């Protein structure tokens, strides 16, 4: 890893998304950056200034992206979160996510990019009854089979591991992030919490971690400006129980036995009555994934503004206003 000099250039993929748009606004405040590059298939979703915008599909040739002034750091946020309803659709989405990453890494190698920051997910650890609490970054991958997002993020991290081994001149940073809530709550987590009725598995009330988008954006901006290679868990301090989360959100929780909940969610998924997740996603409200976050705090010196419960409360307050 090479430390970026003053006047460095940062490119952000998925720049028009929920997190990317807020990150661009944050990075615009950094006087140490000479140039920002926004990469997305869509136009910017927020007013931005002094940013070069590239309308690109990462699965296609990245015409010109790496042919201008050298890019010091790439922050890769672009990812299709949609779960495929058929095996063919799921395979297409997964292939495109992996192809986009592979194509981008190839461009980074050719363009002599110094640092690569990837937003991964806590779901690479999987939701299992024997998960250690807390889970450290040394824990093995155990993605939840049948949950496409979890599996694809784990496959992406494996690709990045190989890339880092083969290209030691590039510093690779992986941020394993928990569920994100906050400003302009339009992501898939927020949509799930906005449903009039939440399902609860009888006998299960797992602790959950959340992060406010402001905290995540701050962490991303710190790694963008002063990259540190390695793997880092990212989550707000503390936990909030599933039942407590539902109460804060003012949602009703329908408690169902496991043997009834899974077939019900599977049916509503197949009939397209809900679009959040297949039945396998219920494992995440049965088994906790609680990450240790000491490493990211030590690397950045950042102290999170919002606890997990405060992230939920902040989002609930926005919904009420």
As a dihedral over the C-alpha atoms of residue 30, residue 32, residue 37, residue 43, rounded to 10 degrees, the angle is 20
pLDDT tens for each residue of the chain, 321 residues long: 444 445 789 999 999 998 999 999 999 988 888 889 999 998 877 666 778 889 999 999 887 898 878 999 999 999 998 888 888 998 999 999 999 999 999 999 999 999 999 999 999 999 999 999 999 999 999 999 888 999 999 999 999 999 999 999 999 999 999 999 987 655 666 667 777 788 999 999 999 999 999 999 999 999 999 999 999 999 999 999 999 999 998 888 889 999 999 999 989 888 888 777 788 889 999 999 999 999 999 999 999 999 999 999 998 887 554
Q: Report whether 157 contacts 142 (CB < 8 A).
A: no
Comparing CA positions, the residue from 55, 162, 80, 81 lying closest to residue 116 is 162
Closest CA to 265 of 199, 208, 202, 203: 199
Q: Residue 150: which of 259, 13, 287 has the closest Cα?
A: 287
Q: What domains can you pick out in the chain, each with its CATH number?
A: 8-182+209-236+290-305 (3.40.50.720)
Report the predicted TM-score, pTM, of the whole model to 2 decimal places: 0.93
């Amino acid at each position: 890893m090479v430390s970026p000099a003053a006047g460095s250039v940062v490119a952000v993929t998925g720049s028009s998304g929920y997190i990317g748009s807020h990150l661009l606004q944050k990075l615009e405040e950094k006087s140490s950056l000479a140039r920002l590059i926004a990469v997305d298939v869509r136009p910017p979703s927020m007013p931005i200034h002094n940013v070069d915008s590239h309308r690109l599909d990462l699965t296609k040739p990245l015409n010109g992206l790496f042919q201008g002034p050298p890019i010091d750091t790439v922050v890769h946020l672009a990812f299709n979160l949609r779960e495929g309803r058929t095996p063919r659709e799921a395979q297409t989405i997964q292939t495109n996510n992996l192809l986009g990453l592979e194509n981008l890494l190839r461009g980074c190698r050719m363009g002599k990019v110094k640092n690569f920051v990837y937003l991964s997910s806590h779901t690479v650890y999987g939701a299992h009854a024997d998960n250690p609490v807390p889970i450290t970054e040394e824990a093995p991958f155990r993605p939840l089979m049948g949950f496409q997002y979890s599996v694809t993020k784990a496959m992406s991290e494996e690709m990045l591991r190989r890339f880092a081994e083969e290209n030691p001149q590039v510093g690779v940073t992986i941020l394993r992030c928990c569920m994100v809530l906050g400003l302009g709550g339009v992501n898939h987590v927020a949509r799930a919490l906005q449903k009039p009725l939440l399902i609860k598995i009888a006998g299960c009330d797992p602790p959950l971690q959340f992060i406010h988008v402001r905290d995540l954006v701050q962490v991303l901006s710190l790694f963008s400006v002063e990259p540190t290679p390695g793997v880092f868990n990212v989550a707000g301090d503390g936990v909030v129980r599933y039942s407590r989360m539902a109460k804060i959100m003012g949602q009703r929780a329908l408690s169902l036995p496991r043997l009834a909940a899974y077939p019900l969610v599977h049916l509503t998924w197949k009939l397209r009555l809900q679009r959040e997740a297949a039945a396998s996603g219920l494992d995440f409200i049965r088994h906790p994934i609680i990450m240790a976050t000491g490493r990211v705090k030590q690397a950045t010196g950042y102290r999170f503004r919002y606890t997990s419960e405060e992230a939920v409360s902040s989002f609930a307050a926005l919904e009420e206003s």
